[in-house]
Structure 1
Amino acid sequence: MGSIPFIFMIIFLFHLQRSKSQTIESTHLLDLMIRDYTIRNFNIHFKTGTIQKIHLPSNFSSIDIATARFRCGSLRRHGATIGEFHLGPGLTVQPCVERVMLVRQNLGFNWSSYLYLTGYNLTGYNFQLVSPVLGLLAYNSNPDGVAMNPYEINVMGTEQNPILIKFLSSKASRDPKPNTKQNSSLLCACFTSNGNITFREQVSAYVCLGTTQGHYALVVRAQESGGGAVVTPPSSPAVNEGGGGRLSRWKVAVGCVIGSIIGAFLLGLLVVAMVVKGKKKAMREEMERRAYEEEALQVSMVGHVRANPNASRTRTVPRFDNTRYTNK
């Protein structure tokens, strides 16, 4: 299983340079990579409802991940809080498996800009991101551990019992405090898996309302972005944080080259294996043919009689008795 995340990273870096539709596909690949790393590093000894931090590889170190497991019935009745996401009671969980694993993502400004600003064509809508993209996804989980075959669970709220996304927290006292008055120019953007975006007003200052799991961010119109406060959730790493936070073009190029070399090498091994197998099959058929020809009995027809050409060409010479008989 250790090679699966590496393959995901190569495929993801390759898709990152492609068209809009394939960039949206890259967001799905990123979700799968985060899911696999979460499952690999999940500590099953943590109590139900306890939040765990997941550390990604250095190339994705600017992405902040937290996860927790909940009983499906308890999640529906009481809701839950994980990071900036507050799930109220009365949720719908489909299918309602015994354990549900919630994975909260904070993609940071760099990955948010690379994937969502360009991939979802926010500039075409004349919007700009003013917060990192926050994601919440749910997967099935076994009672005694994590699922070997994870699949996505649908967690949905309603307008009366919504999912609230709070982009600010009182714990961020060390960060510069932006204006907490509701900014009417800010809108909540919800990014769907099919590449669409839905916009709606904030329910309060820097608080968005959602009715389903997915990815959310605060946006502002481009002409109104000048002088606007940039919202930085407390758990998001700094934009210029070291350790691979910014994905430079040469790293992408190196990743593509490495992926191409590995692909060509594997393709070459496949071709060599097919050629060797074909030669062995041809040699085996030739040996079988020769053995059959050497062992088969060669016969020929003389009139209506089958004759063996390998029979001896000599016959016993008749012998005549020279004894003379006399008449008595």
Structure 2
Amino acid sequence: MALPSKPHLLLLLLLPPIVMLPSLSHQAQDPRVIDRIVRDSAFQSYHTKHHKTAIAYKLPLPSSLSAVAAETVRYRAGSLRRYGAAIKEFRVAPGVFVHPHIKRLIVVRQNLGNLSAIYNAYGNISGFQLVSPVLGLLFYNAAGLRNSSSKNLSELEILVARRPIAVDFSRVVGNLQRLRPLCAMFELDGNVSLSNQTASNKCLSRRQGHFALVIESAKSENSKVSEWKVVVVSVVAGAFVTVLLGLMVVAVASARRKRYQREEMERRAYEEEALQISMVGHVRAPTASVARTAPALENDYAPSSS
């Protein structure tokens, strides 16, 4: 078929694939969308060639999830409860019950690889950053292989009656002990919980979901340093103001004392000037100065002598 000669018609033919790309990219940024794509691939694989129980099969995923590695294993619910399971980094101890009661289930393991960064968008993990890939472990009802209803395709509820599920990150990370990472558990309802490691690069959980190792982000550490600086400056400023107030109090008291001493000296000087002090025996006593009145004649005539 010949291509349209008009340029704008050729542009219209090229637009649909260009418009579709952002949509695929947006889907790959939603963790729950990724879970559904991996789940559908797990169910589809058992319709083709993956039929054996307790055997892990690698799942083919679309190109938009090329960074994700996933495996699926089918178990009998009774066998999983009695013997537990080991799937790559995960160790499921005996004593795991599923609800509702079913005969068979499918367990899906994920390693999100470079797509793990999408979990940084969780609000509850602000102030932390991932230092490991996000690993996921999800349980599904194997009845979904025959019945595609939404109820059968959703995750099962699990009850860990004995030892918790162990997640060993040693295969996917190096030595992180100097960083002292925490275990982050991303639950299916969107909640995030943090806990300490039980051993080097190992975490424990009694729930299914996604797991990673995290450390406090540099921004959070800088914020703490800034807060520490503010506290130090506040303490120093408070101490300076206290010292300054103390000096002002001392200066005011000293000025008052000097004024009182000056007034006292002036008062004593005035009294000593008004009343002279003289000794009367062994006692000092103030005495007034003697002032004699000059005699004056009553008239200008002197008495005649006869």
Tell me how far apart the structure 1 counterparts of residues 22 and 94 of structure 2 sit (CA, whole Å). Answer: 40
Residues 183 and 202 of structure 1: CA distance in aligned 2, closer, same or farther (over 3 Å)? farther
Question: What is the deviation of 1:184?
Answer: 6.9
Partner of 1:37: 41
Residues 44 and 99 of structure 1: CA distance in aligned 2, closer, same or farther (over 3 Å)? farther
Work out whether residues 91 and 161 of structure 1, in 8 Å CA contact, stay in contact via their aligned partners in 2: no
Is 1:220 matched up with 2:210? no
Give, as a single letter, the amino acid of the residue that structure 2 aligns with 1:77.
Answer: R
**Which whole-Å deviations, capped at 9, do the CAs of 1:68-105 have from their partners, x for residues lacking one?**
10000111111111121110001121112111000111
Work out whether residues 141 and 147 of structure 1, in 8 Å CA contact, stay in contact via their aligned partners in 2: no
Work out whether residues 124 and 192 of structure 2, in 8 Å CA contact, stay in contact via their aligned partners in 1: no
Partner of 2:56: 51
TM-score by length of 1: 0.54
Partner of 2:230: none
Work out whether residues 69 and 100 of structure 1, in 8 Å CA contact, stay in contact via their aligned partners in 2: yes
Is 1:209 matched up with 2:204? yes
**Runs of at least 5 residues in structure 2 that lack an aligned partner in the other structure:** 1-20, 222-306
Partner of 1:93: 98
Tell me how far apart the structure 1 counterparts of residues 164 and 219 of structure 2 sit (CA, whole Å). Answer: 29
- RMSD value, Cα: 3.0
Residue of 132, 152, 157 corresponding to 2:155: 152
Matches within 5 A, 1:191-210: 191-210=186-205
Work out whether residues 50 and 69 of structure 1, in 8 Å CA contact, stay in contact via their aligned partners in 2: yes
Residues 104 and 146 of structure 1: CA distance in aligned 2, closer, same or farther (over 3 Å)? farther
Residues 99 and 44 of structure 1: CA distance in aligned 2, closer, same or farther (over 3 Å)? farther
Residues 185 and 77 of structure 1: CA distance in aligned 2, closer, same or farther (over 3 Å)? same
Residues 27 and 12 of structure 1: CA distance in aligned 2, closer, same or farther (over 3 Å)? farther
Residue of 171, 178, 182 corresponding to 2:174: 178
Matches within 5 A, 1:179-328: 179=175, 182-183=177-178, 185-223=180-218
TM-score by length of 2: 0.58
Aligned length: 198
Tell me how far apart the structure 1 counterparts of residues 138 and 22 of structure 2 sit (CA, whole Å). Answer: 23
Work out whether residues 39 and 146 of structure 1, in 8 Å CA contact, stay in contact via their aligned partners in 2: no
Partner of 2:137: 136
Work out whether residues 27 and 33 of structure 2, in 8 Å CA contact, stay in contact via their aligned partners in 1: no
Work out whether residues 140 and 147 of structure 1, in 8 Å CA contact, stay in contact via their aligned partners in 2: no
**Which whole-Å deviations, capped at 9, do the CAs of 1:207-237 have from their partners, x for residues lacking one?**
10010110000001124999xxxxxxxxxxx
- Quick check: which has more Rg, 1 or 2? 2
Question: What is the deviation of 1:46?
Answer: 3.3
Residues 224 and 87 of structure 1: CA distance in aligned 2, closer, same or farther (over 3 Å)? farther
**Runs of at least 5 residues in structure 1 that lack an aligned partner in the other structure:** 1-8, 17-22, 227-328
Q: Which has the higher contact order (CA 8 A, sep 6+)?
A: 1
Work out whether residues 184 and 214 of structure 2, in 8 Å CA contact, stay in contact via their aligned partners in 1: yes
Larger helix proportion of the pair: 2
**Which whole-Å deviations, capped at 9, do the CAs of 1:133-181 have from their partners, x for residues lacking one?**
11111111149x55433232122325x4110001114xx8xxxx8337x
Q: Give the share of equivalent positions with the same residue, in percent.
A: 38
